[in-house]
A = this chain, B = another copy of it.
Amino acid sequence: MDIVVGIDIGGTKTKIGLVTKEGECLEKTFFRTREYPDIDDFVDKIYSVIKELLEKNPNEFEVLGVGIGAPNASSKNGTIEHASNLIWKGTVPILQKLKSRISVPMKIMNDASAAALGEMLFGNAKGMSDFIVVTLGTGFGAGIVANGNLIDGYDGFAGELGHVDMTLGDGRLTGLGVRGGLEAYVSATGLKRTILYMMSKYMDESRFRSIAYCDLHGEDITQAAEEGDPIAIKAFDYTADILGRALANFTAFSQPEAFFLLGGLMGSGKWITEPLKKYFNDYLLEVYKGKVKLMYSGMKGKTAAICGAAALIWEDHL
């Protein structure tokens, strides 16, 4: 049976799985990325985990290749560069290191781009030629498909939409020092910052007045909104407003047929999606109105990133 190894390298966990051509993840496991501060140890660990997964079924699998999704990965250079959420600093030639240990076809890509490819091959973007996957987690990532192809950019770093300046430089700083950058507003972290902002701006009572910033969690903000906390409701509305503007801006760039929204922030459900629909439609240019869908991912939550990474290899075989 043909199989692809999918690897999702995240700041906290590195997840590895075996993915079928239908996009099913048969075997999967993970380890903690931070336990391998030396990149060579990390690569050795990946190698041994893949070996283990395969040996569970020694005769059955024909490995077509290894696909990797990682933050700040350059598909063209095979590197991870200046990833603020990873432990390895500077430029890491990860593909070259893995290739010296494993001799099957191998590709790496920005994790949000891999998610977009996964959505196209296995998820809800089947048959679409123009769409954008937006990942709203600790940061803000984007995988952009136009004319049926992923936009990589000249050097493999397209889609860094979390660092688009929304405010003419008069706003919050992102982790990479962009003043007014989108991810400082629209992400799980951005939502927490907005809770503080709303408490500074309004005097409404709120459960968050007795909770420190570092103890704030997305689920609690959702819960508070459910219970009518005015600060939580205002924070979601503000976040949705800025996300709506951002998606309207991105529409003017590549006019996607749909945006697929995933990641932790989407766990807040209607509190983010309902105001988002309203604002997005308000801000869209007339020529785009009624033509751009806001959709959920069709990928199963826990294996979505692994399957997206595997799609890098599967797209050459389907």
| Residue A252 CB within 8 A of the other chain | yes
How distant is the Cα of A285 from the Cα of B176 in the complex, in angstroms? 8
Contact between B157 and A147, CB atoms less than 8 A apart: no
How distant is the Cα of A296 from the Cα of B71 in the complex, in angstroms? 34
Known pairs A82-B287, A146-B151; A245 contacts B159 (CB<8 A): no
How distant is the Cα of A130 from the Cα of B150 in the complex, in angstroms? 12
How distant is the Cα of A147 from the Cα of B286 in the complex, in angstroms? 28
A contact face: mostly helix, strand, loop, or mixed: loop
How distant is the Cα of A288 from the Cα of B250 in the complex, in angstroms? 19
User: Please, which residues of chain B bring their CB within 8 A of the CB of A159?
Assistant: 252-253
Contact between B285 and A178, CB atoms less than 8 A apart: yes
User: Please, which residues of chain B bring their CB within 8 A of the CB of A156?
Assistant: 255
Contact between A245 and B168, CB atoms less than 8 A apart: yes
Q: Which residue of B lies closest to A151 (CB)?
A: B146
Given contacts A81-B287, A146-B146, A151-B255, 19 further A-B contacts (CB under 8 A): A146-B147, A146-B153, A147-B149, A147-B152, A149-B149, A151-B253, A151-B254, A153-B254, A153-B256, A154-B291, A155-B291, A156-B255, A158-B252, A161-B252, A161-B253, A163-B252, A163-B285, A178-B283, A254-B254
Q: Which residue of B lies closest to A160 (CB)?
A: B252
8 Å CB contacts to B: which residues of A237-255? 242, 245, 248-250, 252-255
Q: Which of B82, B158, B165 contacts A254 (CB 8 A)?
A: B158
| B-binding residues in A (CB < 8 A) | 72, 81-82, 129-130, 144, 146-147, 149, 151-161, 163-169, 171, 176, 178, 242, 245, 248-250, 252-257, 283, 285-288, 291-292
How distant is the Cα of A161 from the Cα of B250 in the complex, in angstroms? 9
Contact between A169 and B285, CB atoms less than 8 A apart: no
Nearest CB of B to A158, in Å: 4
Q: Which residue of B lies closest to A161 (CB)?
A: B252
Contact between B255 and A158, CB atoms less than 8 A apart: yes
Q: Which of B155, B161, B176, B255 contacts A153 (CB 8 A)?
A: B255
Q: Which residue of B lies closest to A132 (CB)?
A: B253
Contact between A255 and B164, CB atoms less than 8 A apart: no
How distant is the Cα of A248 from the Cα of B283 in the complex, in angstroms? 22
Known pairs A147-B152, A168-B171, A168-B245; A255 contacts B157 (CB<8 A): yes
